[in-house]
Structure formats: structure tokens, C-alpha cells
Copies of this chain bind each other. A is one copy, B any other.
Amino acid sequence: MAASIKEVAARAGVAVGTVSNVLNHPDRVSPPTLERVMNAVDALGFVRNDAARQLRAGQSRTIGMIVLDSSNPFFAAVARAAENEATRHGADIILGNSGSDPEREARYVTLFEEQRVQGVLISPSGDISSRLRSLRDRGVAAVLVDSESEPAVHSSVSVDDTAGGFMAAEHLLETGRRRLAFVGGSPGIRQVADRLAGARSAVDRVPGARLEVLQAADMTVLAGRAVGQDLVERGRSELPEAIFCANDLLAVGVLQSLLLINGLRVPQDVALMGYDDIDFAQSTVVPLSSIRQPAEEIGRTAVQLLQEQLGDTPSPPRQVRFTPELVARQSTGPSAASA
């Protein structure tokens, strides 16, 4: 169906090797020949078959990327930044969405192996370290995104989630709240576990402060709404004074339940805090306090770390770690008690 290099060669009256040179090393070809070949290419609508090129080259120009949840604006932003940076390096990105499911994650890794990708950017959910190590042994570099690795094995870009969790809880405590709740997804997700650990250590420093842990089905707006619903049904006296959600989506859901379904006021009755600082955080019903993570920088850096390991002289793996930042908005303002 599609024209091959051979047909182009026949039409232009040259050898296949010459056509290949026109495509890849135009300087090696004399101007008149070049033009004849170009005309043949246009006339036949020739498009290079990438599978054949890759087969010969032994490697592709693509980078595989696996994120935990592509519908979370935070990961979407990371992925987009990575894509832009990859384009600057002449590479393409194949994006996979694991949804924190180790099985889907493994399927994507296999897909990437079959594609012989240059490298893999991954936010791990299950334990794929052995898988990644065998990849590396085969010459496929991996960069852990939003996660750390044993140094000297892979590069990684991460944000200090424990510090972020600490900052969040500390902020809530500073505004006078004592009975806190943490809303997370599965505790198996490292980000969730770290943010909780950080929050707990802040709470433990303050005498009389308590931290209750609630688990949402997943980390979406819908799951947040369900948790919020459960909270509201306890009755007012049993409510925590402040809620810290492991990401902004959960916080948005909790917010909806508190305000819309019940008549509670945020922050007067309950303070609310999210994580990630997605673009929408400042546009919610009550603008949401959050912990900002530098999404663009994470994506960009991940691709750069990968590139470092690809050249002829691969650099040793590096760990880059960003520090998150507290963004205080209305949802953690003064409480009714203090007002």
C-alpha cells in the first residue's frame, strides 16, 4: 500500500542507498540527484517506515512515561512539561496511565520494552524495582518521577512529601486547630504514606493535638465527596477542626460535601487543606490552601536526567529533590472560635 524506499529509488533512477542518504545525509548527495529523489518522494507520497528504521537502528526515538493518574491536573502538568522537553531533544513520549494499578503498570513496562524505548520515566506504584533493574541491565535507563530510588541505581526527581505533610499539619496547628483529620488514598501509595508521616510528626510535637486517619477509595473528587459525606453524618460535635487531604482533588470533593450537602462553613467550622496546588485550587468555592509542587520543573528535570544517561558517556545516576511550598488561602483562615 505505502511506497517503499525501493520504489522511490526506481522512480528516481538511483540505488536505494542513495535514497537513504537523501533522507539522512543530504550533504553526501549531489544537488541534481537530491532534487530527482525529492521529486520521486513527493510524487509517491513516500513516508519512511519507522519500524524498519528502528529495527535497523536497534533503538527508537521514544521515551516511555507512566503516571499514576493522568486525569489529575498535577500529573497532567508534569507529563506536558516532560513532553515539551522531550521534543526539544528530538524524542517523542508515549504516555501510559497506571491508575496506581501494579498490573497496568507492568503491562506498560512490557509495552515499552517491546518498543525498545530509549528510556522510561515512571511514577512507580507497585514494586517494580526488579523490573527496572533488569531494564537498566539491558541498557534502558529509567528515571523515577515523584519518587526516590536507591542512589546509584536510577536517577530520580522527587519532592519531599514528608516535609510537605509536616508543613500542612503545622499550618493547621498554628491557626489553633487541635483535632485534625488526614484523608488519603491507599496507604500503599508512598506519597500518601509520607504526607501522613510528616503530618503525624507535626501533630506529635503539640500536646493535646490529635490526628485521625481516614481512607478514601481513590484520590478523586468523587472519593473525596464520599469521605466528606461520611464525616458530615457524624454530627457536628464529632467533626475534626481541620482536614488535610493528600491531594487537591480529594479536598475539592470534601469541600463539596461540607458546603453543598450540609450547611457547614469553611474555614469557620472546619479548615481544609489540599496538596499539589493545581490550577483550580484558587478557584474553588472557598479558595483552597495547598502545598505547591513544581510540576513543570519536575517534568522537565526528569527528561534531562534521562538524557544525561543516554549519551556515549553516560553520567552516573543523580537524585534531584525539590522542596514543596505552603500556599495559604481562605480555606484555612481563622476559625469561628478565634473569630
Contact = CB atoms under 8 A, between A and B. Distances in A.
The residue in A73, A255, A283 that gathers the most chain B C-beta atoms within 10 A of its C-beta is A283
A280 to B, nearest CB: 5
Contacts of A21: none
Given A280-B252, A283-B280, A284-B285, A115 B50 contact: yes
Contact of A284 (B51, B54, B79, B283): B283
A39 interface: no
B255 A116 contact: no
A101 interface: no
Contact of A47 (B51, B113, B252): B113
A160 to B, nearest CB: 26
Interface string A190-234: 000000000000000000000000000000010000000000000
Interface string A51-94: 11011001010000000001101001101100100000000101
A31 to B, nearest CB: 25
Contacts of A287: 285
Interface string A240-284: 000000000000100110000000000000000000000110111
A61 to B, nearest CB: 10
A208 to B, nearest CB: 33
Nearest to A115: B50
A172 to B, nearest CB: 21
Contacts of A73: 71, 73
Contact of A55 (B51, B70, B221): B51
Interface in A1-16: 1-2
Contacts of A237: none
A82 to B, nearest CB: 12
A221 B51 contact: no
A88 to B, nearest CB: 13
Contacts of A114: 47-50
A45 to B, nearest CB: 6
A326 interface: no
A58 B2 CA distance: 10
A76 B70 contact: yes
A52 B55 contact: yes
A45 B95 CA distance: 24
Contacts of A284: 280, 283-285
A111 interface: yes
A113 B110 CA distance: 23
B76 A80 contact: no
Given A1-B139, A71-B77, A280-B252, A49 B55 contact: yes
A138 interface: yes
Interface of A: 1-2, 45, 47-52, 54-55, 58, 60, 70-71, 73, 76-77, 79-80, 83, 92, 94-95, 97, 110-111, 113-116, 134, 138-139, 221, 252, 255-256, 279-280, 282-287
10 contacts: A45-B138, A47-B114, A50-B51, A50-B114, A51-B60, A70-B80, A83-B97, A92-B111, A94-B94, A285-B287
